[in-house]
Structure 1
Amino acid sequence: MSITTDMVQGWRQPQKVMQRHLARGRSEPFAFSLLVTFLVLVFVSLWPQLSRQSLIQPEVPMVQRLVAAGLALLASVPVWYGVAALSHWIAKLFGGHGSHYRARLALFAALVCVSPAMLLQGLVAGMIGTGPQLSLVQGLVGLGFLWIWISMVRVAERDNAD
C-alpha cells in the first residue's frame, strides 16, 4: 500500500495500518523512511509561517529561516528515536511484549499519519497567525496524534514476533 493510503486510513483505523506495517517484517530502512517522510512534510508545513515571519521581520531572510528550520528538524532525529525507546519502556511496565523496533515503527507511522494535519496547521499559522484558530488546530493535531500513536503502540506491544 502507498503511504498516502496509510495517512488516510491511519485516522480511521490506525490498528490496521500498524498490523500491515508489522506484516512486512523487520526493516530499519522502512522505519527510517517513515521518519524522513514526516520530517520533509513538517519542513514544508513550516514554509507559510516562515514566509509570514520574513514579511514581518525582513531583516532575517527567508532562506536563512528555511536553513535553520531544516537543520533543527535534522537535529530532532535522535529525539524521535529516544521518544520511541521511552514509549517501549513505559509499555513494558504495563505488560507490553513488543520490541524497540516495533515502538519506533508505531511512532514513525503515527507521525506520518498526522503530517497532513500538520500541513493544515502550517497554513493556518501562515495565513491567520497566532490566535484561537491556530490554537484549536494545534490542539486537534495533538489529540489526533496521541490517539493514532497510542492505538499503534497497543498493536505493536501485543506480542513480539521479531
Structure 2
Amino acid sequence: MSLTLNIARSYRDPAQVVRGLLGQGVREPQVLFFNLLSCGLIFVAQWPRLSRDATLDPSVTFEQRMGGALFAVMFLLPLILYALAWALQGGLRLARMPVPGLWARLALFWALLAVTPLMLVQGGLSALLGPVGAVQAFGFVVAGAFIYILGFGVRAAIRLVQDGHGTPR
C-alpha cells in the first residue's frame, strides 16, 4: 500500500498498518528512510515559523535560523531518534516484552512519520498566529496522536513476537 494511504490509515488502525509493514518484510533501509523522511518533513514544518521569527526579529537572519534548524533536525534528530528506539527496546525487554530492535525502530519512526502532516499544520498555524495558546494546544494534539500511534504499533510488534513471528534480539 502507498505511503500516504498508510499514514491516513494510521489514525484509524495503527496496529494494522505496523503489522502490514512487518508482514512485508521490512528491512533497515526502509526504516532509515522513514526516519529521514519524517525529519525532512519536520524541517519543512519549521520554515513558516522561522520566516515569521526572522521578520519580527531581523537581528538573526532567516538563513541563520534555517541553518540552525537544518543542523538540529536533519543531523541531530535522527541520532536522537535511534537512541530513543534503543531505549524503547530496552524498556520493553525490561518489561519482559522483548521485540527485535528493527521492529522497535519501525514502530517509533512510523509513528513520527504518521504525525508529520499534523506537524506541517502546526507549522503553518505558528506562522499565522504566532506563539499563542491555540498553537500550543495543537502541539498537545500532535503529541497525543504520536503516543497513540506508537503505543498501538509497539503492541502490534509485541503480539507478533508472542505469536512466534519474530525472534527477539
Normalised by the length of structure 1, the TM-score is 0.95
Distance 2:20 2:66 in 1: 35
Task: Give the corresponding residue for 2:48.
Answer: 48
Unaligned regions of 5+ residues in structure 2, if any? none
Offset of residue 3 of structure 1:
1.2
SS in 2 for 1:52: helix
Task: Give the corresponding residue for 2:148.
Answer: 147
Matches of residues 104-119 of structure 1 in structure 2 within 5 Å?
Answer: 104-119=105-120
Give CA deviations for 1:95-115 in whole Å, capped at 9, x if unaligned. Answer: 313111100000001001000
Distance 1:31 1:77 in 2: 11
* Counterpart AA for 1:161: G
Matches of residues 2-41 of structure 1 in structure 2 within 5 Å?
Answer: 2-41=2-41
Offset of residue 51 of structure 1:
0.5
Task: Give the corresponding residue for 1:95.
Answer: 96
Offset of residue 154 of structure 1:
0.9
Distance 1:122 1:112 in 2: 15
Offset of residue 131 of structure 1:
1.4
Distance 2:148 2:154 in 1: 10
SS in 1 for 2:99: coil
Contact 1:99 1:157 (8 Å CA) reproduced: no
Distance 1:111 1:79 in 2: 13
Distance 2:77 2:98 in 1: 27
Offset of residue 52 of structure 1:
0.5
The RMSD of aligned alpha carbons is 1.2
Task: Give the corresponding residue for 2:166.
Answer: 161
Matches of residues 66-77 of structure 1 in structure 2 within 5 Å?
Answer: 66-73=66-73, 74-77=75-78
Structure 1 runs (4+) deviating above 3 angstroms are: none
Give CA deviations for 1:101-159 in whole Å, capped at 9, x if unaligned. Answer: 10000000100100000011111111101111011100110111001101101111220
Contact 2:89 2:98 (8 Å CA) reproduced: no
